[in-house]
Amino acid sequence: MAKIKVAVVGLGNCASSFIQGIEYYKSIKANRLPGLMHDEIGGYLPDDIEVVAAFDIDERKVGNPLHEAVLAAPNCTQVFAKSIQPSSVIVKKGPVLDGVSDHLQLYPADRRFQVSAKEACDVVAELKESGAEIMLNYLPVGSVLATEFYARSALQAGVAFINCIPVFIGSDPEWIRKFEQAGLPIIGDDIKAQVGATIIHRVLTKLFEDRGVQIDRTYQLNIGGNTDFLNMLNAERLAMKKTSKTEAVLSQMDVPLETKNIHIGPSDYVPWLNDNKVCYIRMEGTQFGGVKVDLDVKLSVEDSPNSAAVVMDAVRCCKLALDRGIAGALPSVAAYTMKHPLHQFSDETARLRMEQFIEGVIER
Ligand SMILES: NC(=O)c1ccc[n+]([C@@H]2O[C@H](COP(=O)([O-])OP(=O)(O)OC[C@H]3O[C@@H](n4cnc5c(N)ncnc54)[C@H](O)[C@@H]3O)[C@@H](O)[C@H]2O)c1
């Protein structure tokens, strides 16, 4: 089976987990390992994915081989792969644009990004030379200009696009049209992690709705110690993240809550948590006879493998679309894998539709 050639933008913790996962699941041919939503998709196994190009701006990553860069500071996620195969891919510097927030300067150098003094490369030329088929965007939250730059570069180089972050590209009709015209699939936006805060909050919301319990108020507080949480201390970068996370939950309600009764957001940065994310969800409702019910949930999870599990499937579905000559949005895949797709479904329906896409029962 041909490899799936991927270009990665932003070699942070999520990219590290994704690349480690390719190694970790190599043994899947011999025996089934836990943690995957699909062992194979259309015949593609996790280790059919090959990272052929990588872009970052950090001096501890740029100019270094991929297998070293994914383990370099400030990455702090768990190293679960016994080893990462030495790679001949050298990380290239991309343009910084709005990728790095000024407030990071206030924090210790080993916790934040350090911009390399090297010149930015020609991203389109690198993409073409590498033979990449799919670009994965893992930039920091708030990187609007940088995400648009990489999306344009993907279009120019003839590369499909998976947008793992909350900048609205894969859910934007205008960007979708551009990819459709270029004959390329696009999946976005903002990865919905395997068992993360969003899917738990959505499923509980649906449960309350289906069982006739009126939701009166809810919050979702998220705390972590990685650079994603450090970056998100800058409230100016958060608008789309809050929209993405809040709409993901509101979409599961027949009558959406008033804004004053729902609070969802990154809530604080605790350095010693590293890539461990702690999430508190509270739901207050009214059930039979007007009687009150409260539900409190705490989730503690390593943030980056949680997203990598889902990206592993999004990449293989994107490759299926390429193989089948399908361009533009893939609503079935986006609804299951992303927090902010073009069209929201319940997670049960989204899962069913993604299976139908994989089996070829529905086109997209
Ligand atoms: N962990 C999850 O479950 C999850 C879920 C959904 C979305 N996300 C999003 O995925 C993204 C990546 O998360 P992460 O934890 O890997 O973040 P991270 O901070 O660990 O990594 C970001 C990387 O981008 C690099 N970078 C910054 N500006 C750049 C530029 N202009 N060009 C190229 N590279 C640049 C940084 O040097 C760093 O290596 C974030 O936006 C995050 O919110 C994560």
Please name the residue that has the structure tokens 């972590």: 224
Q: Is 74 in the pocket of ligand 1 (CB under 6 A)?
A: no
In a domain, 276, yes or no: yes
41: DSSP letter: B
Strands (E), the chain: 4-9, 49-56, 92-93, 134-137, 160-163, 185-187, 214-224, 262-269, 276-287, 291-302, 328-329
Q: Is the CB of 226 under 6 A from ligand 1?
A: yes
Residue nearest to atom 24 of ligand 1 (CA): 10
The residue range of the domain holding 348 is 4-192+305-359
Domain shared by 154 and 235, yes or no: no
By the 8 A CB rule, do 161 and 169 touch?
yes
How far apart CA 342 and CA 338 sit, in angstroms, is 10
pLDDT tens per residue, range 25-60: 987 766 778 999 999 999 999 999 999 999 999 999
For ligand 1, whether the C-beta of 13 sits within 6 Å is yes
Residues 305-363 have pLDDT tens digits of 999 999 999 999 999 999 999 999 999 999 999 999 999 999 999 999 999 999 999 99
Domain co-membership, 68 together with 165:
yes
Q: Is residue 364 part of a domain?
A: no
Residue 12 CB less than 6 A away from ligand 1: yes
| Beta strands across the sheet bearing 185-187 | 92-93, 49-56, 4-9, 134-137, 160-163, 185-187, 328-329
- CA–chain centroid gap for 117, Å, is 28
Q: How many domains does the chain have?
A: 2
CA distance 113 to 116: 9
Report the distance separating Cα 114 and Cα 75, nearest Å: 12
CA distance 246 to 169: 18
pTM to 2 decimal places = 0.97
pLDDT of residue 28: 72
Q: For tokens 């009150």, name the residue.
A: 292
CATH number at 265 reads 3.30.360.10
Report d(CA 355, CA 15) in Å as an integer: 25
Structural domain includes residue 325: yes
Q: How many Å lie between the centroid of ligand 1 and the Cα of residue 140?
A: 4
57 falls within a domain: yes
> Do residues 63 and 136 share a domain?
yes
Residue finishing a domain among 302, 318, 334: 302
Contacts of 230 (CB under 8 A, 6+ apart): 104, 107, 111, 112, 269, 271
